[in-house]
Structure 1
Amino acid sequence: MKGKWPIALEAAAIWTPEGRETVAAMVAAGRITAEESEGLGLTAVPVADVPAPDMAVRAAERALEAAGRGARDIGLVAHGWLYHQGHDFWSPAHYIADRIGARTAFPVGVQQLSNAGAAAIGIAVDKLAADPRLTAALVTTADRFCPPGFDRWAADYGVVYGDAGTAVLLRRYDPARSRATLLLRSLTFVTAAEYESMYRGRDAFSPAPLWHGGRVDVRRPKKAYLEMHGGIAQFSESARECVRSVLLQALAEAGVEPQDPRIRCVALPRLSDGVLEMMYLPVLDGLVSGGVLRERENSGHLGAGDMLANLAHISSNSELHPGDFAVVIGGGGGFTWSCAVVEAVQSPASF
């Protein structure tokens, strides 16, 4: 749908709790080894004592305040998450809509593992393009990776999970009235669904959550998958092809050449060196202009929120001038990879 671009990204925000768990403390406590800590690319992760949906509400309130907008004209609230939202049989998207005052908005929940935030943006963009009655859409994410169901330091290979809420406010772009900090020029997705079994392994389908062992253990099914498929090489090759494809599709849809000097940065998921080297960094080498942005040192992987958190960082980055571009790459188990291209714009002085 070529006519839908650009979409105004009026504000992007992240809310992180004050609590922290540090790598040094985890090594000292024997939670991880010194060898495991190498290459994580972080010193600490945020740890929340509030429910995940409340973090989304706080991020949404920040985004609305930054945009100078109220919630009454928001027609869609799309909330993405990876892990438990505080109740077993419940809609966090409705809760968020109610708490921010968007009580007549259409709330929708999006679960696509770590790509849920990007998928929620995609739903919002398509809804804005297709429904002339919709004037604004809010996208949020939030995850809280807490015991007893989740050990943020040991649940996965090469990933440490941090707690945060994120939000972006989107509108159809009107140059005369826009309050945009960024223009979303494209958002593309590439899927390789044959890899869904990497998060299933040999485990049988269960009748209730946390049936296999009482906590989330991503390592068990991944280990089984690698044993059944002779290692990681085939997946790594396929993943790189998908990342390359989604990146080039996004740039082409945005009308930007890969070596365009206006591309100032390429933001990557907030993952360890090993994971980034397996599927992302080799693709970027020599292909695309712009430096690599790895904003993970004090956040870790924010579940569904990496893309939105990176957009929040980019929107507040003073080094990005009007006309400059940033590329934001995401991905999540299943597997689906995503890529957004945004352009910095000069907001009008008289809002």
Structure 2
Amino acid sequence: MNTAEIWLAPAEWLPPTAEKTADALAAGRVTANEADAMGYEQLPVSAGLSAPQMAVRAARGALSLAGVAARDLSAVLHAWTYYQGHDFWSPAHFVAAETGAREAVPTGIQQMCNGAGAALRLAAHQLAADPGGAPVLVTTADRFAPPGFDRWGGDYGVWYGDGATAAVVGAGPVPEGALALRALHTRAVPELESAHRDVGVFHDVPHEGGAAVQVRRTKKAYFTDHGKAPFLDRLRRETSAVLAAALDEAGFGPVGPRLSAVLLPRLGRATARDVYGPAVAEVTDAPQVDLGERTGHLGAGDLLSNLTALAAGSGPHRLERGQYAAVLSAGAGFTWTAVVVQRT
């Protein structure tokens, strides 16, 4: 993908309230071993705002950073992984309307936790196909509220935080505070989709298989049939491949530019150690960074939240002028995206 002229201005909005790991441990919601494997301090929890309402707040931050008016957007791409507050409805259109993007074409993106990667890819393709076209707004938002979702115990090795992210994606001169998109590469392995599906049955209505989403049940069945070790090995190999392809696309080589960091999906210390860390090390010796300590896994939002940290006006992970970083994203299905950005 030719991304030479494409830039993005990212932002996030996280709830001010949070549930602490120490409290979850004391209440018996997690075990000491699970807390050690995650290594996370807290999870942000929305006390009242729905996921799309949070997305609107993140969108306003991204528009402000980009210096773009909502009325000038050509498209709004909204991604999510879990319930958006209504049963039969388009949250993407809500985000567009509430943001003021009345001339934009809204589209919902359902690629699970790689939703931001899928949306960025579509935005970049649209801009490449229409040189001089108006910017695109990408948003993500998830709220993992009970009783439908147990953010602490519904999945193996993943704790889920509430929050929203956004990015204005445009072409041409890079606005102050935005990042230049140097590469974006995506890979998929569709045959792994059954790790998140009740094999042998399709349900007629939501939650027919149980009162709450239980990813542990489907993963356990998948590991029983196919083995956990081959599954993790495939995750490592695909992560290495997608990162290598993105770095090649961005022009990295023996005498090319150096990466300041590789930011990992926010899936916990054990997953970073066993899957993403070794996969990245196969490709580059750049420092690896996990920024999930105070957010947990943000559903479709990890990628843009990590990009927000790189673009931030201050902070330990802010890119300085001329520096490059790579950001990894992964989602059930499975799909992987690697993005390379530069502060110009």
Q: Same fold (TM over 0.5)?
A: yes
Tell me, which stretches of 5 or more residues in structure 2 are unaligned?
none
Which residue number corresponds to residue 191 of structure 2?
194
Listed one character per residue, the Cα deviations across residues 226-266 of structure 1 (whole Å, up to 9, x for unaligned) are: 1111x211112211111111001101111122785631010
Q: Distance in 2 between matches of 1:106 and 1:149?
A: 31
Matches within 5 A, 1:257-336: 257=253, 262-285=258-281, 287-316=283-312, 319-336=318-335
3-state DSSP of counterpart to 1:209: coil
Secondary structure at the residue paired with 1:206? coil
Tell whether the 8 Å contact from 2:46 to 2:143 is kept in structure 1 after alignment. Answer: yes
Q: CA deviation at 1:33?
A: 1.4
Q: Once the 2 structures are TM-superposed, how far is the Cα of residue 135 of structure 1 from its aligned partner?
A: 1.4
Trace 1:170-189 onto structure 2 (pairs within 5 A): 170-174=169-173, 178-179=175-176, 181-189=178-186
Letter in 1 for 2:77: A
Counterpart for residue 348 of structure 1? none
The CA RMSD over aligned residues, in Å, is: 1.6
Displaced runs of 4 or more, over 4 A: 258-261
**Contact 1:41/1:273 (8 A) holds in 2:** yes
Deviation at 1:213, TM superposition (A): 0.8
Q: For residues 54 and 299 of structure 1, do their structure 2 counterparts lie closer, same or farther at Cα, with a shift above 3 Å needed?
A: same
Moved more, 242-251 or 315-324: 315-324
Aligned partner of 1:349 in structure 2 is: none
Q: Is residue 243 from structure 1 mapped to residue 242 from structure 2 by the alignment?
A: no
Letter in 2 for 1:167: A
Structure 1 position 201, deviation (Å)? 4.1
2:202 corresponds to = 205
Larger deviation, residues 186-195 vs 275-284? 275-284
Kindly state the Cα deviation for residue 26 of structure 1 after the two structures are TM-superposed.
Answer: 0.5
List per-residue Cα deviations over 1:252-310 (Å, max 9, x = no partner): 11112278563101000001122223321112226314211110110000000000000
Give TM-score, length-normalised by structure 1: 0.93
CA displacement at 1:42 relative to structure 2: 0.8
Q: Which amino acid aligns with 1:265?
A: A
Aligned counterparts of 1:64 and 1:164: Cα–Cα separation in 2: 18
Asked if 2 retains the 8 angstrom alpha-carbon contact of 1:6 and 1:186, the reply is no
In the alignment, is the contact (CA less than 8 A) between 1:40 and 1:271 conserved in 2?
yes
Q: Kindly indicate whether residue 36 of structure 2 is the aligned counterpart of residue 38 of structure 1.
A: yes
Cα distance in structure 1, aligned partners of 2:273 and 2:59: 33
Aligned AA (2:142): D
Residue 5 of structure 1: CA displacement?
Answer: 2.6
State the one-letter code of the partner of 1:304.
A
Q: Does 1:223 align with 2:220?
A: yes
What is the one-letter code of the residue matched to 1:184? Answer: L
Between the two proteins, what is the percent identity of the paired residues? 45
Residue 76 to residue 258, structure 1, CA distance change in 2 (3 Å): farther
Asked if 1:73 is matched to 2:62, the reply is no
Moved more, 127-136 or 143-152: 127-136
Deviation larger for 51-60 or 247-256: 247-256
Task: Find the residue that maps to 2:303 and give its secondary structure.
Answer: helix
Displacement, 1:67? Answer: 2.3
- The size of the alignment, in residue pairs, is 340
Matching of residues 64-143 of structure 1 within 5 Å? 64-132=63-131, 134-143=133-142
How far apart are the structure 1 equivalents of 2:57 and 2:275? Answer: 33
Q: How far is 1:133 from its partner?
A: 6.0
CA contact (8 A) 2:78 2:138 kept: yes
Q: Is the CA contact 1:262–1:323 (under 8 Å) kept in the aligned structure 2?
A: no
| SS of equivalent to 1:115 | helix
Aligned AA (1:183):
A
Counterpart of 2:266, as a letter, is R
Gaps of 5+ in 1: 346-351
SS across alignment from 2:247? helix
Structure 2 length normalisation: TM-score? 0.95
2:18 maps to which residue? 20
